[in-house]
Chain A
Amino acid sequence: MNPHQLQAKTVFEEASGLADAGERRAYLDGACAGDTALRQEVESLMRAYEGSGSFLQTPVVIALPQLPLPGTGEHHFGDYELLEEIARGGMGVVYKARQVSLNRVVAIKMILSGQFASEDEVNRFRSEAQAAASLNHRNIVEIYEVGEHAGHHYYSMPFLEGRNLAQLVESGQWRPGDGTEAARLVAKIARAVQCAHDAGIVHRDLKPGNVMLGPDGEPRVTDFGLAKRVRDKGQLTLTGHWMGTPSFMAPEQARGRSGQCSRATDIYSLGAVLYYLLTGRPPFVADSALDALLLVLEGEAVLPRRINPLVSGPLEHICLRCLEKRPEDRYASAGELATDLERFLKGDSLTVHPQAIGRRFEAWGRRQPALVARFCTVLLCLGIVVTAYQLHPYETPIQHQGVILVLVSWLVISFLCQWGLASDRHATWVRFVWSGADPAALTAILLIAQAFSSPLVILYPTLVAASGFWFRVSLVATTTVMSLLGYLVLLLQAKRPHADSMPFHWHLLAFVAIIVTGLTIAYLVNRVSALTRFYERRPPAER
């Protein structure tokens, strides 16, 4: 606030306290005393003040939307008498109700008005609900009626005793055991899903919360084809940890291409449900929604047997086959999955074979990307170095053996580092060691091979660029500094025996190139982490 504004404010505030117009004018005459600019400013504020009426006088409110609620006198909702509220969320309310005309107890799911963006969506919801209502399978919760009353869309279904699988597992009453019971349940669910697929209906949102387990031990799938039609944005959990994460979503779905959602998506989710029942946790768990998403897209689930050693090999194969990233690698149909689970239960051999070597290697690469990248690089380098030496020995035998020794020790160090990463306590410094070891190994090789004045120094910026995958600025910095040191060592070594022919400023440029690469990568890493933090802080409704 500049002095002029401050003065105007002070005079205005004083004047506004004076109720009498004459008194006020007298005060202004005195206070402004010939300062016309000030006088004008105060009078303009004064006019605004007098004309403002009720402006800002009534504070904002929070209006609670109207929904019929039991216990408030509005017991009736069309043909239904509302008995009790079962659940409530952002998308609507589920009541236990009695259908008066048929005198039966039902669950009625009422959708909050405003859940649909357009008439078009309402129509789509209704036609899908009607399609789902035509499903008739003992393991699918049937839909009795779809309709609209008093502006609320709703559908009704049988009222089921029992709990859903998520509640069961969370309550700690579920015993995974050797997975036989899980296999039995998922086989039944898969048969039900196949039945729906035959009718052209895809569930899109299979998860433990959508499977009810009745007192008779029969699983029943709810919300067929409907769950994702209704934008379920009001997940009331704020930890963002569980419900907001794409834990049971197939990669193609998590990528947001809903057009690609197909039967294969449901098969993935069936596998995720099986995984959940075998291990008590979803396939991918991470601290943040973004990390969980990355895991779904790129990561590999921890083998179920690592978590629950009682699970048998074949059952693990079945589970992992459903969780394949590429839809075409999964079971071709839910029926095939059910068949394999049934064969497993009977002790027959499976139709699915253990993963091929190539696929296993890919899975290893997903689980330990840093190690596998180095493993492949070192193997490739070894191949080239050895072949080149056989064809045309450029180095002395000692040099050659030295290079091979360094490459092999680099590999050994990488394996040790990967092993160290698994421990929570040491992971931090192991990462530093690892990101420093790469440029050190490169320096050693270049030293032994006397390859200073060769194009191989380009490998330094390459290593710096690759260090970006740690997503930590400090590690990028470590690699950059180690690269610079390595280059410096090479420079000093080369100077000693015979005068270096290259002009000095070339080295300077090489230094700058390494530093610029480091800064670029650090900047990108910083940007990605800022975005990550931003998204984690957004309210769930905006995600």
Chain B
Amino acid sequence: MTTKAESAPVAGTGEITRLLEEMREGDPEAAEELLSHVYHELRTLAAARMAHEAPGQTLQPTALVHEAWLRLGLGEGARFPSRAYFFAAVGEAMRRILVEVARRKQRLKRGGDMQRVELELAEFAAPMPDDELLAVDEALDRLSQTDARAAELVKLCYFVGLTQEQAAKELGVSISTVERRWAYARAWLFREIRKWQVAPEAPSATRLPPP
């Protein structure tokens, strides 16, 4: 009646193709712009799913990626590396959405008076506690500084939900490379977040005044 669900694509066909072209030429701004389109697209698609599919169901972002790809006018033609850039953008967008949700939940919890957690369009959920997700997010930033490709793989497998076979195909590398890279990324991140969770707590506990 007064609310209206529209679902026009964010950008024209040419726009996304141009951005992918520019990324191939190494323009960092294009990546950021593509990300903002993908971010909007994911939210819209999730909302559209909410309108058309049975509620209470969960789906992996992968289920939306192909749809997003088509809706952004990229068609069947484009292949590596354009698709890889696109998947990377989806992974990054999912990560940002999740981090946003987790931060907001934490803020509300600290606010105290709020029990029902904000639910927005569709709920983007990570299978780990919010603190841990935020820790992973920070650790992932550090990983991408030392090993960008490993960080990329985490985004594809964890935030987009690709299987290792799919990730290997999208990245254009062998499955064994993906397996080894994945093991390294998981080990590195796990060590990193434990280091940050455990290490700073010990000294602060000793500094606490006696009750």
Q: B35-68 CB contact bits vs A (8 Å, 1 = yes)?
A: 0100111011011111101111111110010000
Q: A208-250 CB contact bits vs B (8 Å, 1 = yes)?
A: 0110100000000011000100001110111100010000000
Q: B89-121 CB contact bits vs A (8 Å, 1 = yes)?
A: 000001000100000000000000110111111
A67 at the interface (CB under 8 A from B): yes
Question: Which residue of B94, B116, B157 has the most chain A CB atoms within 10 A of its CB atom?
Answer: B116
- Given contacts A56-B158, A62-B125, A94-B1, whether A88 and B51 have CB atoms under 8 Å apart is yes
Q: Which residue of chain B has its CB nearest to the CB of A157?
A: B1
Contact B5 A52 (CB under 8 A): no
Contact B47 A48 (CB under 8 A): no
Contact A13 B113 (CB under 8 A): no
Contact B116 A60 (CB under 8 A): no
Q: Which residue of chain A has its CB nearest to the CB of B183?
A: A16
Question: Which residue of B50, B124, B159 has the most chain A CB atoms within 10 A of its CB atom?
Answer: B50
For B53, the chain A residues whose CB sits under 8 A away are 64
A91 at the interface (CB under 8 A from B): yes
Contact A210 B2 (CB under 8 A): yes
Cα A86 to Cα B60 in complex, Å, equals: 28
- Given contacts A61-B125, A94-B3, A209-B4, whether A49 and B98 have CB atoms under 8 Å apart is no
Cα A48 to Cα B185 in complex, Å, equals: 11
Q: Which residue of chain B has its CB nearest to the CB of A167?
A: B4
Cα A233 to Cα B126 in complex, Å, equals: 23
A453 at the interface (CB under 8 A from B): no
For A313, the chain B residues whose CB sits under 8 A away are none
Number of interface residues of B (CB under 8 A): 71
Contact B1 A114 (CB under 8 A): no
- B2, B8, B41, B136: the one contacting A239 at CB < 8 Å is B8
> A320 to nearest B CB, angstroms?
27
Q: Which residue of chain B has its CB nearest to the CB of A44?
A: B191
> A400 to nearest B CB, angstroms?
56
A323 at the interface (CB under 8 A from B): no
Cα A38 to Cα B135 in complex, Å, equals: 26
> B181 to nearest A CB, angstroms?
7
For B116, the chain A residues whose CB sits under 8 A away are 113-114
- Given contacts A13-B184, A64-B59, whether A537 and B36 have CB atoms under 8 Å apart is yes
Contact A234 B120 (CB under 8 A): yes
Cα A13 to Cα B177 in complex, Å, equals: 9
For A234, the chain B residues whose CB sits under 8 A away are 47, 120-121
For A58, the chain B residues whose CB sits under 8 A away are 127
Cα A12 to Cα B2 in complex, Å, equals: 59
For B54, the chain A residues whose CB sits under 8 A away are 64, 69, 72
Please tell me the size bucket of the interface on A: 35 or more
Question: Which residue of A14, A60, A72 has the most chain B CB atoms within 10 A of its CB atom?
Answer: A60
- B43, B50, B114, B179: the one contacting A64 at CB < 8 Å is B50
Within 8 A of A (CB), among B153-182: 154, 157-161, 176, 179-181
A539 at the interface (CB under 8 A from B): yes
B23 at the interface (CB under 8 A from A): no
> B16 to nearest A CB, angstroms?
13
- A61, A91, A113, A117: the one contacting B114 at CB < 8 Å is A117
Contact B3 A91 (CB under 8 A): yes
Cα A48 to Cα B139 in complex, Å, equals: 14
Cα A99 to Cα B40 in complex, Å, equals: 38
Contact B125 A45 (CB under 8 A): no
For A56, the chain B residues whose CB sits under 8 A away are 136, 154, 157-158, 186, 189-190
> B147 to nearest A CB, angstroms?
6
Cα A537 to Cα B121 in complex, Å, equals: 19
Within 8 A of A (CB), among B116-151: 116-127, 136, 146-147
B10 at the interface (CB under 8 A from A): yes
For A48, the chain B residues whose CB sits under 8 A away are 187-188, 190-191, 194
For B161, the chain A residues whose CB sits under 8 A away are 59-61
- B8, B40, B122, B190: the one contacting A539 at CB < 8 Å is B40
For B113, the chain A residues whose CB sits under 8 A away are 118-119
For B98, the chain A residues whose CB sits under 8 A away are 60
Contact A87 B125 (CB under 8 A): no
A188 at the interface (CB under 8 A from B): no
For A86, the chain B residues whose CB sits under 8 A away are 1
For A92, the chain B residues whose CB sits under 8 A away are 3
- Given contacts A13-B183, A60-B98, A60-B158, whether A237 and B119 have CB atoms under 8 Å apart is no
B6 at the interface (CB under 8 A from A): yes
Cα A209 to Cα B4 in complex, Å, equals: 9
> B41 to nearest A CB, angstroms?
8
* Partner-A contacts on B (CB < 8 A): 1-10, 33, 36, 39-41, 43-44, 46-51, 53-61, 64, 94, 98, 113-114, 116-127, 136, 146-147, 154, 157-161, 176, 179-181, 183-184, 186-191, 194
* Partner-B contacts on A (CB < 8 A): 1, 5, 9, 12-14, 16-17, 44-49, 51-52, 55-56, 58-67, 69, 72, 86-94, 107, 109, 112-114, 117-119, 160, 164, 209-210, 212, 222-223, 227, 232-234, 236-239, 243, 537, 539, 541
Query: 24 A-B residue contacts at CB 8 Å?
Result: A1-B147, A9-B147, A45-B184, A49-B190, A56-B158, A56-B189, A59-B127, A61-B127, A62-B49, A62-B60, A62-B124, A63-B58, A63-B123, A64-B56, A65-B55, A65-B122, A88-B3, A90-B121, A113-B119, A223-B2, A227-B2, A236-B7, A237-B6, A239-B8
The 8 closest A-B pairs by CB, nearest first: A89-B3, A114-B119, A59-B161, A48-B191, A49-B187, A13-B180, A52-B190, A16-B183
